[in-house]
């Protein structure tokens, strides 16, 4: 499938996904003004923004990140975010170790990240899309079909913004590993990160990295909607 055919198929599938959400009474909100993000995140019930997506820490632009919020009857009930990470020739372990120092501080002159699992090195190279901050408000978490559709739309938007991405990835807890498959991630790496001391807030050594490679995204959006 060439690029034009893929783009057309992606538009068709995304249109079907949007229609599916609309039929369920849902709508989407993507703020252009990032100063609105913290308050919107708070309405979803999320206690804090993780450092990787904290708008008070980064000079994000519309070209490097976006937030998508799910609404029901005019109320924000969920949200997630994505950002572009163009690694160039830098390896992912080197990148993660470096930013972890800026987020959480060094430990005796070393990164708080002690080890990154070997499969990650091969999976994450080049232009990456990090997806995080998924939160659904209590009382609205039962409609997993809507959440699944919401996440697929977010992935489609990310692919449209950053067309030459190599992979999308996220981190999930063990108890959410099966949900990651529903969202569209096709590869999972157990125990992806080992922290040097106790993991920072929001992290665990048991977290899995879940990955959607570009080739798998193209297959997902080749015209067939599950």
The Cα 99–Cα 200 span in angstroms is: 13
Q: Is residue 226 assigned to a domain?
A: no
Q: Is residue 204 assigned to a domain?
A: yes
pLDDT score, position 58:
87
Q: What is the pLDDT of residues 5-55, one digit of tens each?
A: 667 777 788 889 999 999 999 999 999 999 999 999 999 999 888 999 998
pLDDT score, position 222:
65
Q: Is residue 145 assigned to a domain?
A: yes
pLDDT score, position 61:
93
Share of the chain above pLDDT 90, in %: 77
User: Which residues form the domain of 177?
Assistant: 3-220
* Count of the separate structural domains present in the chain: 1
Say yes or no to pLDDT of 3 above 70.
Answer: no
- The rounded mean pLDDT for the chain is 91
DSSP string, 99-126: HHHHHH--BTTB-SEEEE-HHHHHH--S
> Which of helix, strand or coil describes residue 174?
helix
**Parallel/antiparallel/unpaired status of strands 65-72 and 167-172:** unpaired
Q: Is residue 41 assigned to a domain?
A: yes
Q: Is residue 225 assigned to a domain?
A: no
CATH of residue 214:
3.40.630.30
Angle between helices 144-161 and 3-23 (to 10 degrees): 150
Q: Which of 164, 158, 127 is nearest to 3 (CA)?
A: 164
How many Cα atoms sit within 13 Å of 81 on the Cβ side? 27
Do residues 113 and 96 lie in contact, with contact meaning Cβ atoms separated by under 8 Å? Answer: yes
pLDDT score, position 2:
58
Share of the chain above pLDDT 70, in %: 94
Say yes or no to pLDDT of 194 above 60.
Answer: yes
Q: Is residue 26 assigned to a domain?
A: yes
The Cα 40–Cα 42 span in angstroms is: 5
Q: Is residue 183 assigned to a domain?
A: yes
């Amino acid at each position: 499938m060439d690029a034009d055919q893929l783009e057309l198929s992606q538009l068709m599938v995304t249109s079907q996904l949007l229609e599916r959400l609309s039929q369920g009474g849902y709508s989407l909100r993507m703020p252009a003004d990032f100063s609105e993000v913290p308050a919107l995140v708070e309405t979803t019930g999320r206690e804090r923004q993780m450092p990787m997506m904290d708008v008070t820490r980064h000079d994000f632009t519309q070209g490097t990140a976006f937030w998508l919020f799910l609404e029901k009857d005019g109320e924000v009930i969920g949200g997630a975010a994505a950002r572009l990470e163009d690694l160039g020739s830098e390896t992912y372990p080197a990148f993660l170790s470096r930013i972890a120092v800026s987020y959480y501080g060094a430990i005796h002159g070393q990164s708080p990240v002690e080890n990154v699992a070997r499969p990650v090195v091969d999976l994450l190279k080049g232009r990456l899309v990090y997806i995080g901050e998924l939160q659904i408000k209590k009382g609205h978490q039962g409609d997993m079909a809507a959440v699944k559709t919401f996440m697929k739309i977010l992935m489609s938007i990310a692919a449209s913004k950053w067309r030459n991405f190599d992979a999308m990835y996220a981190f999930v807890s063990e108890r959410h590993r099966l949900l990651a498959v529903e969202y569209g991630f096709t590869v999972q790496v157990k125990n992806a990160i080992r922290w040097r001391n106790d993991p920072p807030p929001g992290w665990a050594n048991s977290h899995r990295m879940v990955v959607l490679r570009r080739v798998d995204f193209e297959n997902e959006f080749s015209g067939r909607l599950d």
